[in-house]
Amino acid sequence: MPTLTLKPGREKSLLRRHPWIFSGAVDRLDGDPGSGTTLDLLSADGQFLARAAYSPSSQIRARVWTFDPSEPVDADFFRKRIRNAISARDTWHVAQATDALRLIHAESDGIPGLIVDRYADTLVLQSLTAGSEYWKETLASLLLELTGLQDIYERSDADVRELEGLPLCTGPLRGSINHSPLTITENNLKFTVNFTTGHKTGFYLDQRQNRRLVRGMSDGRDVLDCFCYTGGFSVNALAGAAKSVLSVDSSADALAHCRENVALNSLPVSRHTTLEGDVFQLLRKFRDEARSFDLIILDPPKFAPTAAQAEKAARGYKDINLLAFKLLRPGGILVTFSCSGGVDAALFQKIVASAALDAGVGARILEHLEQAPDHPVALQFPEGAYLKGLVCQKN
Ligand code: SAH
């Protein structure tokens, strides 16, 4: 087995069971491991620390499979991890009235680099690291064995693959995929998901419980859904008897898909309007026109993938939250999110607080929101907590 020996003192994060080793912590490599193959991580004094996948091109040089020196990394190992992840979802009853959920959430389910989402009877797989790529065919076979399904579509087209020196890769991995888009059910509402070309693996499954929450607070309200994508929040607001819903996105395709999802649920089309444009500009325009709403949802794309872009991201978040506070009627509700890994929950709350301050409005937090439970966060991997949200009520 090839080994990666760390510099003195650089074993600390592994002793805390964090699964990443950065290139700067590495003293020397012994052996000739191929990309994604397994090696042992040793402390400077030669003690075993962990068994990991080797990523020769990435700053994250190795990702841990196991901290147990007696555990081999083979098909049985992955069978156990996948079975464990699937049974955790059963425990949570995530699937009640829902047939779309994340089965494997990478590091947080003990399989760094692997994302698997289930959309009805189709699995969509994303392999993001050299390690998950090396084991991809094994993982695909195990997924079919353990779910009893037949179709896996691959969406390994995320930019992070380039950091791993891997080409972008999409297409059927197992079975014959001839049914995109397909229809899923989420909390009893139907959505079509285009898993071959949609964002991420096709749908933002991480917002499931937050959409449900919005459904419960929409009755009789004028709702503005900013960054609506295919209408996850808009459909829920209409299903929750909103008086009106205005769905805004910069993508005409997303808006067309949003209208389809409204129709699919036989919701009152007459209460729904879509508007194509840039949210930053449209919120200003609404302010200048003195328009107002009872409930505003802000679910923007990732402004800061890493902490380095946090400052620029903070300006973006502050801008839209400030404008939203101005557009809310007294007593109105703001449901605001950040999915930026580089902005943690405490910083996000500070940004929203300073937005309210500069808007000259008082508001209080009714609820703190996070990603759905099928996107778990391993306690030793806080980076897994990427989605945070606040429900604020304007005074
Ligand atoms: N709320 C959605 C997910 C939002 S994804 C859901 O529940 O499914 C982010 C969306 O923001 C994408 O659809 C993208 O097209 C859109 N977008 C990105 N930048 C934008 C901008 N400046 N103005 C308007 N929409 C934007």
> Which residue in the block uniquely carries the two structure tokens 């969509």?
124
Residue 302 and residue 292 in contact, taking contact as beta carbons nearer than 8 Å: no
CB atoms within 10 A of CB 155: 24
The pLDDT score that the predictor gives to residue 122 is 96
Q: Is the CB of 204 under 6 A from ligand 1?
A: yes
Q: Is the CB of 227 under 6 A from ligand 1?
A: yes
The pLDDT score that the predictor gives to residue 90 is 84
Torsion over CA of 97, 102, 103 and 104, rounded to 10 degrees?
A: -170
Distance 204 CA to ligand 1 centre (A): 11
User: What is the best residue among 192, 249, 259 to mutate for testing ligand 1's pocket, by most ligand atoms within 8 Å of CB?
Assistant: 249
How far is residue 128 from each of residues 167, 182, 355, measured CA to CA in Å? 10, 24, 35
User: What is the best residue among 184, 236, 246, 250 to mutate for testing ligand 1's pocket, by most ligand atoms within 8 Å of CB?
Assistant: 250
Q: Is the CB of 254 under 6 A from ligand 1?
A: yes
Ligand 1 atom nearest the C-alpha of 229 is 13
The token pair that represents 154 in the structure block: 């691959």
Please name the residue whose Cα sits nearest to atom 1 of ligand 1: 228
Ligand 1 atom nearest the C-alpha of 278 is 23
**Signed CA dihedral, 331, 348, 15, 165: sign only:** positive
Q: Which residues are the active-site residues?
A: 339
Torsion over CA of 366, 371, 373 and 378, rounded to 10 degrees?
A: -110
Ligand 1 atom nearest the C-alpha of 211 is 7
Ligand 1 atom nearest the C-alpha of 233 is 7
Q: Can you list the domains of the chain with their CATH numbers?
A: 3-66 (2.30.130.10), 75-179 (3.30.750.80), 204-394 (3.40.50.150)
Q: Which residue(s) pair with 367 in the sheet?
A: 391
The pLDDT score that the predictor gives to residue 93 is 67
How far is residue 110 from each of residues 19, 63, 91, 124, 132, measured CA to CA in Å? 9, 10, 18, 18, 11
User: What is the best residue among 197, 200, 229, 281 to mutate for testing ligand 1's pocket, by most ligand atoms within 8 Å of CB?
Assistant: 229
Q: Is the CB of 229 under 6 A from ligand 1?
A: yes
The pLDDT score that the predictor gives to residue 177 is 83
CB atoms within 10 A of CB 144: 17
Distance 120 CA to ligand 1 centre (A): 24
Pairing of strands 60-66, 48-54: antiparallel
3-state secondary structure 262-291: HHHCCCCHHHEEEEECCHHHHHHHHHHCCC
The pLDDT score that the predictor gives to residue 94 is 62
Mean pLDDT by 10 residues, the chain (395 residues): 97 97 98 98 98 97 98 98 94 78 97 97 97 98 97 95 94 88 96 95 97 98 98 98 98 98 98 98 98 98 84 95 98 98 95 98 98 96 96 98
CA nearest neighbour of 132 among 140, 120, 124: 140
The token pair that represents 171 in the structure block: 């297409």
Ligand 1 atom nearest the C-alpha of 301 is 9
d(CA 205, CA 392): 23
Q: Is the CB of 303 under 6 A from ligand 1?
A: no
Q: Is the CB of 205 under 6 A from ligand 1?
A: no
Distance 229 CA to ligand 1 centre (A): 5
Beta strands in 7-47 (DSSP E): 20-22, 26-30, 38-42
Please name the residue whose Cα sits nearest to atom 3 of ligand 1: 229
How far is residue 314 from each of residues 248, 278, 330, 333, measured CA to CA in Å? 21, 18, 25, 21
Please name the residue whose Cα sits nearest to atom 15 of ligand 1: 251
| The model's pTM | 0.96
User: What is the best residue among 207, 228, 278, 285 to mutate for testing ligand 1's pocket, by most ligand atoms within 8 Å of CB?
Assistant: 228
Q: Is the CB of 251 under 6 A from ligand 1?
A: yes
Q: Is the CB of 242 under 6 A from ligand 1?
A: no
The token pair that represents 138 in the structure block: 């094994």
Type of residue found at 359: A
Please name the residue whose Cα sits nearest to atom 7 of ligand 1: 232
